[in-house]
Amino acid sequence: MEQQSYLFNNAYRKIFGNTWPKWIGGVLLAFLNIALFLYLMPLFGVYPAMADWGIWTYKLAGINIPTPWGSTLELPHLSSRSVVNFGLLLGAFIGALLSKEFMIRKASVGAYIQSSVGGVLMGVGSFLVGSCIIGGFYSSIMALSLSGFYMMIGLLAGAYIAGKVLPVQKSTNISDSNAVAAANDNSKSHLPKIGLLMTVALIIIATAYFRYNRNVLGGVILFSSAFGLVFQRSGLGFATAFREVFTTNNNDTMRAVIISLIIGIIGFSIIKAYGIKPAYMFVSPAGWHTIIGGFIFGFGMVMADG
């Protein structure tokens, strides 16, 4: 019993005690995206759901506007686009709780303003591209879609300019190492217990989807939660990757992204070559709108610092 407890605690500390190397995050994200591609589609980003939520907000205010893609507006819990976002948030939340890293952080007024404007620019860029950085760049390049490479050009240009002209806004409590250390050293912290409860809730939600023949939604929320957990534990961020290329000598994040893309390209190519998925799947139109949208998105993501 003591040996089992030791092994459990040792494994727990290795998984949630320290931040994972970014290259491990990149490898895990690639294999998750390949598996999701086999199951349904690769991770197509958070932008479509954000647009849906905006339309729902307008509807609650009595304003009816059509969806950008002309499809039927589904209830959030029945829309795969929204379930992807719910899963990403839930997975990241569980990771933060289990690692005792969750805390309410404050930022300066300037940081809130800068992040809000950056978020608006990211939304505009996503609209022009037709997807955000995850779908328009990450998954598109894995699918060898020219649009992904076009967006990459825009992202590099936008991130370069933003990294040169904008100050990086940080929340005031993130740099408080004493507070973080105290939270991590507090053996009586209830955060891991809440994390376990949220994990049980995730399993219950997924089971409910499968129980009522919503198998796609059940799989999507499990996959996207795994994505969120990997993002949280590895600290792998696309904004950091593109910014660091021009502003620092630390390119670990970009190397992890490149490793992830290489694995994904190989996996997607094998899947398509054997006819498991059609060759055209996840190949989007490319043009100046993709480069311009990528530029606006790249500038905005550095401005928002995320």
pLDDT tens for each residue of 175-217: 444 444 444 455 457 899 999 999 999 999 999 999 999 988 9
In angstroms, rounded to a whole number, what is the distance separating the alpha carbons of residues 128 and 136?
10
Of the two residues 173 and 157, the one the predictor is more confident about is 157
Residue 61 has pLDDT above 50, yes or no: yes
Which of the four pLDDT bands, split at 50, 70 and 90, describes residue 1?
low
| Minimum mean pLDDT range among 63-67, 118-122, 228-232 | 63-67
Chain-centre distance for alpha carbon 244: 18
Average pLDDT of the chain to the nearest whole number: 83
What is the predicted pLDDT for the residue at 21? Answer: 92
207, containing H or E segment: helix 191-211
In angstroms, rounded to a whole number, what is the distance separating the alpha carbons of residues 114 and 160?
17
Residue 12 has pLDDT above 50, yes or no: yes
What is the predicted pLDDT for the residue at 204? Answer: 96
**CA 263 → CA 21, 257, 301, distances in Å?**
17, 10, 25
Residue 210 tokens read as: 């499968």
The residue ranges of every structural domain in the chain are: 20-58+78-304
pLDDT in tens, 91-127: 999 999 999 988 887 878 878 888 889 888 998 898 8
What is the predicted pLDDT for the residue at 26? Answer: 95
What is the predicted pLDDT for the residue at 190? Answer: 86
Instruction: Give the Cα-Cα-Cα angle 281, 208, 276 (nearest 5 degrees).
Output: 20
120: CB partners within 8 A, 6+ apart? 300
Which of the four pLDDT bands, split at 50, 70 and 90, describes residue 44?
low
- Decide if 66 contacts 273 (C-beta within 8 A): no
What is the predicted pLDDT for the residue at 174? Answer: 41
What is the predicted pLDDT for the residue at 148? Answer: 93
Three-state DSSP state, 187: coil
Q: What share of the chain is helix, strand, coil (3-state, %, to 5)?
A: 70, 0, 30
